[in-house]
Amino acid sequence: MKPEIAPSILSADFGHLREQVGLVEAAGATIIHVDVMDGHFVPPLSMGPQVCEALRDLGLHLEVHLMVERPETTQVEAFAQAGANTIIVHAEATPAVDYTLNLIREHGCSAGLAVNPATPLSIFEEVSPDLALCMTVNPGWGGQRFIADSIEKITRLRAIVGPDVVIEVDGGVDTKTAGLCVAAGANRLVAGSAIFGQKDPAGAFHDILNAASRGN
């Protein structure tokens, strides 16, 4: 699988959200990463399904990262109805991981499972999501420093899930860390501040994609 870059709109200018997304789309992005925070699982509040509604007609793949407690109770259905294509939940956020992954698929979406930096990978020996997300920062904020120990964790994750599952990394991805992640086995990289925090988001997208491809 060729590496893909999923720009996170968490660092975008929300006053010009569709224009910002248009910039990375013109640069070749096909996936947009939507970071949803509930003020409980992580301290900040971020965005709700209305943001997916506002972007869905652009025809991009909307990947929703639910950093929320008990996502199965309300958020999965709401985001699926708002146009999400992939929904990612955290292993730490629900005791009903297998149920929640099935629920996501029943709503016609790809099912992703995320683990925080301190969470062991053993859950991936028990359940088979379509996408495995290895957090490379503690979730909650954009612009944090990449946790270097994650590289070895990505290697172990690839050995567990095999070649066909998408391995995504999220947090601190830039032109320096992208190639390392891909070399370790990741094939989808989220980047927020390294794209939308830059003057030229399209150029930044290209640079990270090139750096990721060199790690291949």
Binding site for ligand DX5 (CB under 6 A): 8, 10-11, 33, 35, 65, 137, 139-144, 170-173, 190-194
Cβ distance to Zn ion smaller for residue 72 or 170:
170
- By the rule CB under 5 A, 174 interacts with Zn ion: no
CA–CA–CA angle 60, 37, 192 (5° rounding) = 50
Considering CB under 5 A, how many residues would be counted as binding Zn ion? 3
Site string for Zn ion, 109-128 (x = CB under 5 A): --------------------
CB 193 → ligand DX5: shortest distance, Å? 3
- For residue 179 the two structure tokens come to 């190639």
The residues carrying an active-site annotation are: 35, 170
Q: Which residue is nearest to ligand DX5 (CB)?
A: 192
How would DSSP label each residue in 70-116? STTTTHHHHHHHTT-SEEEEEGGG-S-HHHHHHHHHHTT-EEEEEE-
Nearest-approach distance from CB 67 to ligand DX5, in angstroms: 6
Question: What is the number of the residue whose Cβ is closest to Zn ion?
Answer: 65
* Stretch 152-171 residues interacting with Zn ion (CB under 5 A): 170
Closer by beta carbon to ligand DX5, 28 or else 143: 143
Q: Which is nearer to ligand DX5, 148 or 159 (CB)?
A: 148
For the bound state, the minimum distance from the C-beta of residue 42 to ligand DX5, rounded and expressed in Å, comes to 7
Between CA 199 and CA 117 the distance in angstroms is: 30
Q: Taking the complex as a whole, how short is the minimal distance between the CB of residue 70 and ligand DX5, in angstroms? A: 18
* CB contact at 8 A, 193 and 11: yes
- CA dist 25 and 31 (Å) reads 9
DSSP assignment, residue 2? -
Contacts of 62 (CB under 8 A, 6+ apart): 32, 34, 52, 55, 56, 83, 84, 85, 86
- Report the C-alpha gap between 208 and 86 in whole angstroms: 22
Which one of 11, 62, 65, 72 is in contact with Zn ion (CB under 5 A)?
65
Question: Which residues of this chain interact with Zn ion, rule CB under 5 A?
Answer: 35, 65, 170
